[in-house]
Amino acid sequence: MITEGQCLCGGVRFSVRGPLAPIQICHCAQCRRAQGGPFATNLPVARGQFDLLAGADLLTSYSATPGKQRVFCSRCGAPVYSTRDAKPGILRVRAGLLSASAALSAAGLAFHQQVSSACDWWPITVTGHEALDQFEGAPPP
């Protein structure tokens, strides 16, 4: 199974090989600011399953937190993925960039994290996913 994705301008294109992991929903203030919305939707992907098809020259990164890099398209600004030094073999790919809605639906949702800093203008109940596990901070390993 191969799922393809791209940034807003289409300059960065990639694929993910294999089944998709469930989507992790992060409510921390940094993710909200980086995404421009009430939360971020991330898929953990093993680095070996991620293939950059185009746009390596367009990728740039920013580190707001020591040990974490947010990688985005320098042309359109779309966030593509993030990495953490503590998890060197994992990319957290932004779910909204993937084009296969059937694969994303099959992956499902994993949990809400960082709910202690969730914004008050978009309560988790608005998403209809309040039954998912919720973690005040990061989920246990």
Tokens, residue 116: 């202690």
Q: How many helices (H) and strands (E) does the chain have?
A: 3, 11
Q: State the pLDDT confidence band at 138, using cuts at 50, 70 and 90.
A: confident
Q: What is the CATH number of the domain that holds 111?
A: 2.170.150.70
Give a yes or no: residue 65 inside a domain: yes
Q: What is the pTM of this model?
A: 0.85
Give a yes or no: residue 140 inside a domain: no
Looking at residue 85, what DSSP letter applies?
Answer: T
Give a yes or no: residue 81 inside a domain: yes
Give a yes or no: residue 96 inside a domain: yes
Smallest Cα–Cα separation from 3: which of 48, 49, 61, 38?
49
Most confident of 22-26, 45-49, 110-114, 124-128: 45-49
Give a yes or no: residue 15 inside a domain: yes
Tens of pLDDT, residue by residue over 88-101, are 999 999 999 998 77
Q: State the pLDDT confidence band at 15, using cuts at 50, 70 and 90.
A: very high
Give the number of domains in the chain: 1
Summarize the confidence of residues 6-35 as an average pLDDT.
93
Cα 124 from chain centroid (whole Å) = 18
| Domain interval for residue 24 | 2-134
Give a yes or no: residue 104 inside a domain: yes
Tokens, residue 99: 């084009």
- CB-facing half-sphere around the CA of 109: CA atoms within 13 A: 15
The per-residue pLDDT of the chain, averaged, comes to: 90
Tens of pLDDT, residue by residue over 21-65, are 999 888 989 888 988 899 999 999 999 999 999 999 999 999 988
φ, ψ at 71 (rounded to 5°): -105, 130
Give a yes or no: residue 139 inside a domain: no
pLDDT for 52: 98
